[in-house]
């Protein structure tokens, strides 16, 4: 990985978020006495936005989607001299995710395949880097929704591909402008980057609820969706999937998991 980690002692921090990074940064800022601003799109999941506020951060909403929020966060960082924490670009976000990889590799004697949701790429590159360093024979599979495929398409052609819009219930991974340095890291660690359909994401959420009693948000079901769409690839293998979020409105969840 080629990017630098952030300065250790900021007074204020700002991030753009679909909701989960904002909560993490709000919590971290509160513990450290750092004022946090999270910028989100007006269309962002209201549960996630409320939780960011409850954790003490200021929330600014912008028209558009996560890409407009990213631009506003950069502007705020420049005007307020705040630390910009950009998901996946800032190495700290990748290293935080990478600890999941350490837990997985240390916790099991053998994992043939690891399934990871792919948004900006922090989770996939962080965990993927650990896995390829400590267990090089483990296959790293990174999954995006067909409705938000920018980084997956970029991985396939080995060059940044942007998209005009996203259309998926998996809001946590729905970006349009991949970061070139993150793509380079993804090219180094990912073995396979499939796209999955919305129906499979819902089916994955349903299965996790029925068989494991888990309430997960759509992005967290991408790994199960990948298995459902390509079961022969995984048959007979010891497969781990990171279930990476549960911030979902109860009404939306009930609707999505209905048969």
Ligand X SMILES: Cc1ncc(COP(=O)(O)O)c(C=O)c1O
Residues that bind ligand X (CB under 6 A): 20-21, 87-88, 97, 117-124, 172-173, 217, 219-220, 244-245
Minimum gap (Å) between residue 192 Cβ and ligand X: 16
Minimum gap (Å) between residue 97 Cβ and ligand X: 6
CB closer to ligand X out of 11 and 120: 120
CB closer to ligand X out of 10 and 120: 120
Q: What is the distance of C-alpha 122 from the center of its chain?
A: 7
Give every CB contact of residue 198 below 8 A, 6+ residues apart in sequence: 145, 146, 147, 168, 169
Nearest alpha-carbon partner for 223 in 79, 137, 113: 113
Strand partners, 195: 144
CB closer to ligand X out of 111 and 244: 244
CB closer to ligand X out of 37 and 241: 241
Minimum gap (Å) between residue 235 Cβ and ligand X: 25
CB closer to ligand X out of 28 and 80: 28
Minimum gap (Å) between residue 81 Cβ and ligand X: 25
Q: Are 161 and 150 in contact (CB under 8 A)?
A: yes
Minimum gap (Å) between residue 247 Cβ and ligand X: 7
Minimum gap (Å) between residue 7 Cβ and ligand X: 22
CB closer to ligand X out of 172 and 194: 172
């Amino acid at each position: 990985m080629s990017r630098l980690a952030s300065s250790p002692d900021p007074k204020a921090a700002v991030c753009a978020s679909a909701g989960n990074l904002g909560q993490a940064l709000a919590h971290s800022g509160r513990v450290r006495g750092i004022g946090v601003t999270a910028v989100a799109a007006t269309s962002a999941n209201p549960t996630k936005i409320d939780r960011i506020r409850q954790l003490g951060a200021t929330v600014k909403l912008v028209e558009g989607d996560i890409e407009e929020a990213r631009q506003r966060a950069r502007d705020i960082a420049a005007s307020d001299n705040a630390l910009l924490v950009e998901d996946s670009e800032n190495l700290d976000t990748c290293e935080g995710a990478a600890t999941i990889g350490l837990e997985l590799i240390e916790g099991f004697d053998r994992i043939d395949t690891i399934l990871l949701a792919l948004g900006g790429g922090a989770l996939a590159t962080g965990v993927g880097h650990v896995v390829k360093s400590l267990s090089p024979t483990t296959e790293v599979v990174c999954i995006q929704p067909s409705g938000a495929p920018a980084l997956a398409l970029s991985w396939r052609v080995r060059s940044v591909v942007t998209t005009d819009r996203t259309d998926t219930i998996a809001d946590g991974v729905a970006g349009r402008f991949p970061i070139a340095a993150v793509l380079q890291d993804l090219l180094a660690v990912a073995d396979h980057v499939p796209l999955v359909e919305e129906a499979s994401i819902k089916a994955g959420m349903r299965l996790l609820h029925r068989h494991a009693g888990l309430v997960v948000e759509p992005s967290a079901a991408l790994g199960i969706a990948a298995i459902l769409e390509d079961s022969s690839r995984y048959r007979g293998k010891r497969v781990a999937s990171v279930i990476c979020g549960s911030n979902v409105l109860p009404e939306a969840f009930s609707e999505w998991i209905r048969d």
